[in-house]
Amino acid sequence: MRLITFVKEANDRLGMITPQGVVDLLQASDILGSEDRQAAEKNSFFHDIGAFLSGGDQATNLALRLLGQRGLVYLPLESLQLRPPVPNPAKILCIIANSKLRTEGAKFPIPAFPMFFSKFPHCLVEPGGAVLLPKISQKVENEIELAVVIGKSGKYIQRAQAMDHVAGYTIINDISFRDLGKVPALDSTMEPLKDWMKNKSLDRSAPMGPWLVLKDEISDPHCLRLTLKVNGEVLQDGNTQDMLYGIPEIIEFASKGITLEVGDVIATGTCSRVGAHKFLKNGDEIEAEIEGIGVLRHSAAVE
């Protein structure tokens, strides 16, 4: 199943993608049988992505029962204004240095276990939207990443049970501001400090989408091709099989002392780069593609 969040009458709505078009789940719930409709209304399953994911198999099965029902209305996907599939996650965690190929010969130490930085909801960019090139940075770079969306809350999650907490997958383009990453120490004899927030978390620095693919559609998330293009030029081409730490390890370490909540997003790290680093310019058109998920298209625009 593939789910989108789209705008309808100035409100976010939850949609299910089908071969015939998009089903507005809240509107379509009116044609469910009375018992199913009451269950959906009682639990607000179709009001937003968080409620849907919290509903687990019950919500999914109710949505699937809509298929083939008389009177079901299908909306053309291309006519809809999309939002990030998870518009307001409580947490966006991004793993540092998680590619075997990318870290070979790296000048920085490779962590002995997964390490993270955070982005925030204000960082998110909708499919088809524009990354903001801020006044304070001249070196804006992007990196494609597979993103995991949490579907079951948990803390101190064991590696063996970690995949039970995954709802599905989407695409994130991790935008970095390379000239904002270092802060001089007051003592000039000491090494500069790392400013992760300014380096990674400025406004509109995390395009996400175009939809959430539930995990039943992805047989092996650790064997997916990732490709990033800017103006048609391939800048990254890799595979999730090159991760240093797989999704179960990432979830295990992320949940140590931190409760992972339904709708939280974890970006699993980028892949190898093709050629030299190139920074985004005003008007650039970006395509981030992950096998089995699709293509996240967006652009870049000056502040």
* pLDDT tens figures, 7-40: 999 999 999 999 999 999 999 999 999 999 999 9
Q: Is the pLDDT of residue 102 over 60?
A: no
104-113, 146-155, 199-208, range with the lowest pLDDT: 104-113
Q: Is the pLDDT of residue 201 over 90?
A: yes
Query: Exposure pattern of 228-238 as b/e (b: 16+ CB <10 Å)?
Result: bbbeeeebbbb
Instruction: Give the model confidence (pLDDT) of 126-144 as tens digits.
Output: 999 999 999 999 999 999 9
Average pLDDT of the residues of the chain: 94
How much is the pLDDT for 276? 80
* Dist CA 246 CA 166 (whole Å): 13
Instruction: Give the model confidence (pLDDT) of 241-281 as tens digits.
Output: 999 999 999 999 999 999 999 999 999 999 988 878 899 99
Spatial contact of 269 and 115, defined as CB atoms under 8 Å apart: no
CATH of domain 84-302: 3.90.850.10
87-96, 110-119, 250-259, range with the lowest pLDDT: 110-119
Q: What is the largest CA-CA distance in the chain?
A: 74
> How deeply is 51 buried, as exposed, middle or buried, from its count of CB atoms within 10 A (0-12, 13-18, 19+)?
middle
Q: Is the pLDDT of residue 106 over 60?
A: no
With a CB cutoff of 8 Å and minimum separation 6, the contacts of 23 are: 15, 16, 63, 66, 72, 73, 74, 75
How much is the pLDDT for 15? 98
* Dist CA 209 CA 169 (whole Å): 9
pLDDT band, very low/low/confident/very high, at 184 (cuts 50, 70, 90): confident
Q: Is the pLDDT of residue 193 over 90?
A: no
CA-CA distances (angstroms) from residue 238 to 97, 100, 231, 244, 289? 14, 11, 19, 13, 11
In the chain, what percentage of residues exceed pLDDT 70?
Answer: 97
Q: Is the pLDDT of residue 167 over 90?
A: yes
**Residue-range domain boundaries for the chain:** 2-82, 84-302
Which residue in the block uniquely carries the two structure tokens 């002995």?
112
Which residue in the block uniquely carries the two structure tokens 């959430």?
212
How much is the pLDDT for 221? 98
Of residues 253 and 189, the one with the higher pLDDT is 253
Instruction: Give the model confidence (pLDDT) of 40-76 as tens digits.
Output: 999 999 999 999 999 999 999 999 999 988 889 999 9
How much is the pLDDT for 286? 98
Of residues 197 and 76, the one with the higher pLDDT is 76
Q: What is the mean pLDDT of residues 174-181?
A: 94
Q: What is the mean pLDDT of residues 168-195?
A: 91
